[in-house]
Amino acid sequence: MYPKLFTQMEAGKTPTILCTVGSRRTERNAFRRGEAVTFTLRVPRALGCRAVVLRLGADGQDPADLPLSFFGIDRGQDLYTVTLDTKKLAPPEGGLYRYEFLFLRGERTLFTNATDNLHFTLCDHNANRFRMLIYRSDFRTPAWFAGGTMYHIFVDRFFRAKNCGKLHTGRLEEDWDNGIPQFAEAPGAPLANDLFFGGNLAGITEKLDDLAKLGVTVLYLSPVFESVSNHRYDTADYEKIDSLLGGDEAFDKLIAAAHARGMRVILDGVFNHPGDDSRYFNRRGTYPELGAYQSPDSPYASWFSFRRVPDDYESWWGIPILPRLNQHNSACRNYFTGKNGIAARWIRRGADGWRLDVADELCDDFLNEFRASVKSAGRERGTDPLILGEVWENAADKVSYGSLRPYLWGGQLDGVMNYPFRNAVLALLLHGDSAFFRATLTEIAVSYPPAVCDCLMNLLGTHDTARILTVLGDPSEGEGFSNAELSTRRLSPEARAKAILLLEIGALLQFTVYGVPSVYYGDEAGLEGYRDPFCRMPYPWAHPDRSLRAFYCRLGELRANHPALRGTFRFLDSPAGSVCYERRARDRSGDRLLIAANLTQDPLHLRIPARYRSVLLHAGKAPKLSRSNLILPPKSAVVLQ
């Protein structure tokens, strides 16, 4: 996966690069601070090169030139080398660097032009440089998360246990099976979100055995704190579990029941903005305490940024009901990240980690202090809490509000929501674009620390996207239709059958690549739905797709039983429109799996290593396996042992 296949500029004159860490060859561009990184270049004599230079610098800063040492000739190739001491190169907190190689040949200098973080061409001018991430020497991620299976629950729509919650605001939709979520006339129009279906924490507790059959090891819950909205992304009080969900008592019971089954529970932390109807802002006077909207004398007044008191204030994306917190205010920040702050409080109470909503909006001081607080509280419990961030792009060089974000340097996040994976899977399933799939997964693998790759939240859908089954059956995602039309629009039987086949292939890939699969509640039961809020339909307990759910159960069993899915990842060669990769255990079990998918209209003939002799699981028509030959039918996928 590291730069080794290059587009030639001149036949027979292409340099090659070998990277080693200590004595081990590596294919990554993310290194632990303190590791010695050696680049060895083999430069054809025909290139006429008299010297090679490494140009390296911190991202956004002027680079320095380091000459490589010539150390011999091998079969018509000049050998050059340079070793970097990453402890001297990077400060203790780590950093992002950019580098390129210069080939000096008389009066002409050739530069490496990185076409991505893996491949390069040679050109006559400074162009794109390679990325190098150096992370903290003490960076570790929770070992319990790697190799698991996550289940993402939008709590109001999962399951309503009887007599377990008190409606304190809004209205209750009694018809769970046929009710439609509230929707605005047009996307983005104001909406009260005060129609609740009444899903609660006791409902999740009641269904834990069903989730265990899916192989679920981690529950990720949408916001559970007191709020006036069914989505609860406009928190009213971070110190209370919403009474409709059953309050603090229901939370404690869920935690205890989940832990008894070996499951962990991750909470959704919405710390960029509360609601305007909250104890902190109190725009509607709901709370007895003086809120920031009501008076400059409020203890929370400095937590928000007013352009003109009281009605002109900063809010998330200009949405008035979501006033933005001023995280640069130390009192505000300490409320969340202090020793006894919100983050630590709920970890001590039993939560096993946080997913951070809109991580792009959270300042670095907040994230640094948040990690310290959460990890400290975890040590008190004898556990290592997980911190995931909502980041939609490659998080290694993510820039937000003009600043490079050090998410993965070891002082902030353990992992991120892997939306690039979703993009790659859709490109493969819908368009047969295997090159994009390979490039995306390879790019992430080489640019993230290995421990982060183990902690990626690999998703096919979330509460912010159309349902994966709907996208696969209707790639237009309902474009041109009104919200009223989309509220009842469903796939035709033919489109649904096609979508289910593609979903099984996509899920097989999701459960077998590096990282942790995250199943959005109801996807395994065939739940459909277009854009928000229709991707938040109630779970179809009365009419689930039992065959699809059974397939997901087999995937969960596969992850539980095979240490290879916690091990190394390597792509193997395969034709366009298909992918093939190998997983290998890092322990002494010797467990190895080969995964292949064929998205073309024709059978795929693959020559595979002779060690793979049995089919563990397949999507679509069954493959044919004999000796070292695999015949994979069109639109199918397989896991071999």
pLDDT digits (tens, 9 = 90+) for 443-493: 999 999 999 999 999 999 999 999 999 999 999 999 999 999 999 999 999
* CA dist 564 → 218, 353, 511, 586, 593 (Å): 19, 25, 12, 7, 7
d(CA 496, CA 492): 6
The mean per-residue pLDDT over the stretch 77-83 comes to 96
d(CA 130, CA 138): 25
Q: 7-16, 32-41, 250-259 — which is least confidently predicted? A: 7-16
Average pLDDT of the chain is: 95
Copy the structure tokens of residue 14: 């292409």
* pLDDT tens readout for residues 282-306: 999 999 999 999 999 999 999 999 9
The mean per-residue pLDDT over the stretch 212-238 comes to 98
Look up the CATH number of domain 273-326: 3.90.400
The residue ranges of every structural domain in the chain are 16-135, 150-272+327-561, 273-326, 564-640
Assess contact for 293 and 310: CB atoms under 8 A: yes
Domains 16-135 and 564-640 share a fold: yes
Q: What are phi and psi of 571, to 5 degrees?
A: -75, 145
Q: Counting runs of H as helices and runs of E as strands, what totals does the chain give? A: 14, 36
Judge if the upstream peptide bond of residue 575 is cis by omega within 30 degrees of 0: no
Copy the structure tokens of residue 381: 């419990």
The mean per-residue pLDDT over the stretch 384-388 comes to 98
- Confidence check: pLDDT of 30 > 80: yes
C-alpha closest to that of 78 among 38, 43, 103: 43
Q: Residue 546 belongs to what H/E stretch? A: helix 546-561
The mean per-residue pLDDT over the stretch 351-366 comes to 97
d(CA 411, CA 374): 12
- Cβ burial 333-344 (10 Å sphere, 16+ → b, else e): bebbbbeebbbb
How high is the pLDDT of residue 12? 58
- Confidence check: pLDDT of 503 > 70: yes
d(CA 595, CA 249): 44
How high is the pLDDT of residue 234? 97
Place of tokens 């970097």: 84
How high is the pLDDT of residue 5? 31
The mean per-residue pLDDT over the stretch 423-427 comes to 98
Evaluate whether the domain defined by 150-272+327-561 bears CATH number 3.90.180.10: no
Q: 124-128, 333-337, 444-448 — which is least confidently predicted? A: 124-128
Architecture in CATH of 564-640: Sandwich (2.60)
- What is the sign of the dihedral through the CA atoms of 187, 193, 196 and 200? positive
How high is the pLDDT of residue 121? 87
Q: Which pLDDT band holds residue 6 (cuts at 50, 70, 90)? A: very low
390 in catalytic set: yes
Candidate list 226, 277, 357, 545, residue with the active-site label: 357
How high is the pLDDT of residue 142? 98
Q: What percent of the chain has pLDDT over 90?
A: 92
Copy the structure tokens of residue 545: 């797709």
How high is the pLDDT of residue 1? 31
- Confidence check: pLDDT of 11 > 50: no
How high is the pLDDT of residue 359? 97
d(CA 43, CA 9): 13
573 in catalytic set: no
Q: What are phi and psi of 640, to 5 degrees?
A: -110, 150
User: According to the 3-state scheme, what is the secondary structure of 179-199?
Assistant: CCCCCCCCCCCCCCCCEECCC
- Cβ burial 60-83 (10 Å sphere, 16+ → b, else e): eeebeebebeeeeeeeebbbbbbe
- Confidence check: pLDDT of 116 > 90: no
* pLDDT tens readout for residues 609-628: 999 999 999 999 999 999 89
Q: 6-15, 38-47, 227-236 — which is least confidently predicted? A: 6-15
* pLDDT tens readout for residues 55-74: 999 999 999 999 999 999 99
Candidate list 78, 156, 390, 532, residue with the active-site label: 390
The mean per-residue pLDDT over the stretch 496-504 comes to 98
Architecture in CATH of 16-135: Sandwich (2.60)
How high is the pLDDT of residue 9? 41
The mean per-residue pLDDT over the stretch 175-195 comes to 91
Which residues lie below 8 Å from residue 87, measured CB to CB, with a gap of 6+?
33, 34, 137
d(CA 229, CA 13): 64
Other C-beta atoms lying within 10 Å of the C-beta of residue 18: 16
- Confidence check: pLDDT of 194 > 70: yes
Assess contact for 287 and 279: CB atoms under 8 A: yes
How high is the pLDDT of residue 165? 87
This prediction's pTM: 0.96
The mean per-residue pLDDT over the stretch 243-265 comes to 98
Between residues 25 and 13, the one the model is more confident about: 25
